[in-house]
Amino acid sequence: MERKLPQKIEIESLPVALSHLHRDMSRMFLQHVGMSFSRFLVLDELRHAGESSQSELQRRLGMEGALITRFVKEMESARLVTRRVDPEDNRFSLVALAPEGRSVLEKMRTLRQSSEAQLLDGVSDNERALMLKVIKRIQENISRWQ
């Protein structure tokens, strides 16, 4: 069943509309890419940060430790990441992006570009710029609450 948003979004419903948009985009991402957006974020963080402890991934991504542990174990089994005991403190595991993980990220980048074009079909450059400006303002407002 396809859900349609009303033509005019009331100001009070904007957070709800954004939440629904995030949910719908996450579903689309999983369907087209074959991996949840949360798992993609773990791989992408490793690509940027290099080898990291699971606790550092948890902190950077704002995810629960148990979730990071589950994702890392699954991705290690799929040979997307490698994991080893931290030589300085054997209580911690260090996680790094494996060559297969880099390959998957490259394929995802291509898929993301085509998906983004479809998502923004009919949205003008001015509308895109305005959306980005509003999203950044909302993020700034959230950071002031924390």
CB 74 within 8 A of CB 67: no
| Cα gap 43→102, rounded to integer Å | 8
Could you tell me which CATH number the domain at 26-110 has?
Answer: 1.10.10.10
pTM: 0.70
pLDDT in tens, 102-133: 998 988 888 777 778 888 899 999 999 999 99
CB 136 within 8 A of CB 143: no
In terms of C-beta density within 10 A (0-12 exposed, 13-18 middle, 19 or more buried), how is residue 26 classed? middle
pLDDT 10s per residue in the chain (146 long)?
555 555 555 556 788 888 888 888 888 878 877 788 889 899 999 999 999 999 999 999 999 999 999 999 999 999 999 999 989 988 888 999 999 999 989 888 887 777 788 888 999 999 999 999 998 998 899 888 86
